[in-house]
Structure 1
Amino acid sequence: MDTFAERVARAILLAAGVSAVWVLLALPPADGAALPLLLHHRFLIAVLAAALLGAVLVRALRPAVVATGLLSQAGFVGIALAMPDFSATTAFYLNLAGMAALLGAGALLLHSARRQARWEGLTPRHGEA
């Protein structure tokens, strides 16, 4: 069932995927001693972007992709808060906004799934179970 909440959640996932691609394209070229770490970071962003964009089309991926995106962005925010000399405040606020968007998408997807289960008679309407 394609509800309004599900369409909004898909739009949020699409926007998050496109912003992850923009982040990937905006990263400076990797060089020096930290080359393996920077390449690994690029790879993880590319996988996350592909998963977010794929979740727009594949319904079964959406809960896992929302959880993975939240973990990824929460990890960045946690590391940024733990470092006293962190100076990339734009990236910090973008990750906070991304977390809020993914939380919203997750809530909309959960709401849509609950309505679908209720419509199909899989959950009781009055909590009698």
Structure 2
Amino acid sequence: MDTFSEHVARAILFAAAVIALFVLQVLPSADGVLLLHHQVLIALLGVALLGAALFRPIRPAVVAVGLLSQAGFVASALAMPGFSATTVLYLNLAGLAALLLVGFLLLRSARQQARWEGLSAPQRGT
């Protein structure tokens, strides 16, 4: 069942993929291991997010991996005192927020679908 929440989640997944690909354009040339590693992960994440927008079964895994990837880079960037790519940091924070919203919307959609199909837990105490 396609719910409104699921349609919004798919649109946000697509937008997050575009943000990920935009991060690749904004990043300076890879002069350090952290930045090269981040470029490879962002490219893979962008492709995975596009796939998740199209294929329902991989959405939870892609959202979880995307959250870990984005949070890891944000934590690493905040821990480095001389990190100068603030635009990249803000784009990653935007991607992190988008993936959190997608996770919430997908959980909401799954709950609505379970309720629709009558699979929710029975009421106790009756």
TM-score past 0.5 threshold: yes
TM-score (norm 1): 0.84
Q: Give the corresponding residue for 1:116.
A: 113
> Alignment RMSD, CA only?
2.1
**Corresponding residue for residue 74 of structure 1:** 71
Q: Distance in 2 between matches of 1:37 and 1:89?
A: 15
Partner SS state of residue 43, structure 1 = helix
Task: Point out where structure 2 has 5 or more consecutive residues left out of the alignment.
Answer: none
Paired residue type of 1:87? S
- Give 1:50's match in structure 2, choosing from 44, 47, 50: 47
User: Number of residue pairs matched?
Assistant: 125
Deviates more, 1:55-64 or 1:77-86: 77-86
| d(CA) in 1 for partners of 2:34, 2:71 | 19
Equivalent residue for 2:86? 89
Q: Please, what TM-score do these two structures have when normalized by structure 2?
A: 0.86
Alpha-carbon displacement from aligned partner over 1:1-32 (angstroms, at most 9, x marks no partner) = 1111101110110000011112223444457x
In 2, Cα distance between equivalents of 1:91 and 1:29 = 13
Q: Which 5+ residue runs of structure 1 have no aligned equivalent?
A: none
Is residue 118–residue 125 contact of structure 1 (8 Å, CA) maintained in 2? no
| Percent identical | 69
The aligned counterpart of 2:24 is 24
Is the 2:14–2:49 contact (alpha carbons within 8 Å) kept by the matching residues of 1? yes
